[in-house]
């Protein structure tokens, strides 16, 4: 929850710092925090013990609940969550093809990164025009003024991609939390079936608001096509790889600390 929430804060900060349009509206962030985050976080309470729990150095009575290393991990993961969320938003506006995926099927116009980060000056751009785009259900989204492209109706697809990346990446981050330092190769997701059920529930309710028209209107989002889901997954999966590297480094730190304490204990006994 901490690392995921750091990611949400990072996404809002990056959007503002870069000068991009607001990626997600408050109701979308509220939905993520109240509905999709809760079940996986609760299910993690049913985790079995870590496989290597007895090989870790014992905690001291005065140890901080969140160590410097743990906070560093939270910040790294959170930063990636924020970057991926903002990245999905920006990719839709600036690309028609990305990672081999065809994002041009909806017919949307692309802009340069400079234009996206200076969208408030849109009125000053001579000859700026945008095409209407269609969602996965064939709904046409057109604009009475080109600058409306950066407002709720125009950025609905980009916001949907951003929100979907945030949801999926937080589900994968829940898998990371199965073990503090243990790899998913040694402690696979099915050791906690409650977590798998919770993730399935969260993804299902997210799809519900995507593909039920009156719900998608409330949340100002639109249905996604298969290539767009490919983009969502492609930007989300690296969070597992990043945490696997951090867990490996954590195991090395634990082993070094345990060896140091054993040497110190042996010296005192001698």
Cα separation, 170 vs 264, whole angstroms: 41
Q: Is the pLDDT of residue 183 over 90?
A: no
Residues in a beta bridge with 134: 140
- Model pLDDT for residues 33-44, shown as the tens digit of each residue: 887 888 888 898
Find out whether 172 and 84 touch, Cβ atoms under 8 Å.
Answer: no
Domain boundaries defined on the chain: 2-49+67-269
Binning pLDDT at 50, 70 and 90, where does residue 2 land? confident
- Model pLDDT for residues 167-179, shown as the tens digit of each residue: 999 999 999 888 8
As a whole-number percent, the residues of the chain with pLDDT over 90 amount to 43
Find out whether 88 and 231 touch, Cβ atoms under 8 Å.
Answer: yes
**Overall average pLDDT of the 172-199 stretch:** 89
- Model pLDDT for residues 18-28, shown as the tens digit of each residue: 999 988 888 88
Q: Is the pLDDT of residue 160 over 80?
A: yes
Q: Which helix (H) or strand (E) holds 177?
A: none
According to CATH, the superfamily of the domain at 2-49+67-269 is: Calcium-transporting ATPase, transmembrane domain (1.20.1110.10)
Indicate the pTM of the whole model: 0.90
Q: Is the dihedral of CA 19, 23, 26, 29 positive or negative?
A: negative
As a whole number, the mean pLDDT across the chain is 87
């Amino acid at each position: 929850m901490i690392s995921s929430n750091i990611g949400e804060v990072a996404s809002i900060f990056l959007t503002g710092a870069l000068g991009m349009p607001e990626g997600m509206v408050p109701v979308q962030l509220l939905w993520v925090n109240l509905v999709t985050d809760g079940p996986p976080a609760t299910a993690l309470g049913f985790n079995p013990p870590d496989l290597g729990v007895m090989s870790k150095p014992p905690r001291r009575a005065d140890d901080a609940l969140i160590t410097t290393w743990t906070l560093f991990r939270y910040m790294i993961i959170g930063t990636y969550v924020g970057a991926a969320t903002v990245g999905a938003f920006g990719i839709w506006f600036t690309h028609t093809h990305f990672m081999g995926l065809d994002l041009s099927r909806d017919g949307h116009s692309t802009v340069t990164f400079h234009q996206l980060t200076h969208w408030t000056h849109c009125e000053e751009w001579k000859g700026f025009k945008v095409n209407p785009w269609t969602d996965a259900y064939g709904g046409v989204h057109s604009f009475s003024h080109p600058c409306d492209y950066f407002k709720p109706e125009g950025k609905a697809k980009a916001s949907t991609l951003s929100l979907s990346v945030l949801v999926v990446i937080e589900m994968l981050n829940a898998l990371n939390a199965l073990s503090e330092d243990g790899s998913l190769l040694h402690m696979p997701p099915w050791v906690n079936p409650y977590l798998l059920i919770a993730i399935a529930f969260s993804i299902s309710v997210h799809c519900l608001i995507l593909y039920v028209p009156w719900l998608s209107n409330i949340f100002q989002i639109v249905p996604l096509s298969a290539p767009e889901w490919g983009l969502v997954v492609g930007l989300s999966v690296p969070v597992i790889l990043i945490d696997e590297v951090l867990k490996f480094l954590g195991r090395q730190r634990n082993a070094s600390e345990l060896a140091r304490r054993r040497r110190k204990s042996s010296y005192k006994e001698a």
